[in-house]
Amino acid sequence: MTVEVKTSPKKVFVVDDNRFFLESLVFFLNCQEDIKVVGTYHRARGVLQKIKAAQPDVVILDVKLPDGDGITILQEIKSHLDIPVIMLTIYEEGREQAIKSGAHAYLIKGEELDILYREIRRAGKTN
C-alpha cells in the first residue's frame, strides 16, 4: 500500500506592470498543480501591504515598475518579511545587486518556464 502525501500548493504573489505578461504568467503558474497565485500587483506604491495581506510563500518581482525600482522593493520586502523573492525581468544588468540584496533568484523573461517553476519550488522550501 502506498501513501500519497498531499502538500498544499506554493502560494505566489506576482508584481509586474505589463498586463499581458502578468495575465499570461498567472495562467501558466496556475496550471501547475503545486503552485497557486494568491495575488498580483502592477506598481511599487502599496505593494508591501498587498504582499502582507496575501501571505504568499514566494514573490515574483519585476525589476522596473512605472513608479519604482524592483531592487528597492526587494530590499523593502526583505527588511519587513521573511519571504523568498524571485526577480523576473528583461534586464540582464542588476543580477549582482539583486542577489546581494537578498533575491532568491534572478531570471530573465523568455527563459524556459520550467526554470521559474523549479525556483518557485526551491524557494518555497524551508531549510
Could you give the number of structural domains in the chain?
A: 1
Give a yes or no: residue 74 inside a domain: yes
Give a yes or no: residue 44 inside a domain: yes
Sheet containing 85-89: order of strands:
35-41, 10-15, 58-61, 85-89, 105-108
CATH of the domain at 66: 3.40.50.2300
Counting residues of the chain whose pLDDT is more than 90, the rounded percentage is 86
Distances (CA, A) of 37 to 6, 87, 96, 110: 18, 16, 27, 20
Give tens-digit pLDDT for 53-76: 999 999 999 999 999 999 999 999
Give a yes or no: residue 5 inside a domain: no
- For the cut 80, the answer to whether the pLDDT of residue 1 exceeds it is no
Stated pTM of the model: 0.91
pLDDT at position 115: 96
Residue numbers of the domain that contains 24: 10-123
- For the chain, the average pLDDT equals 92
pLDDT at position 127: 41
- For the cut 70, the answer to whether the pLDDT of residue 125 exceeds it is no
pLDDT at position 7: 76
- Classified as helix, coil or strand, 24 is helix
CA distance 91 to 107: 9
In the block, cell 519585476 appears at 62
Give a yes or no: residue 1 inside a domain: no
16 close to 28: Cβ distance less than 8 angstroms: no
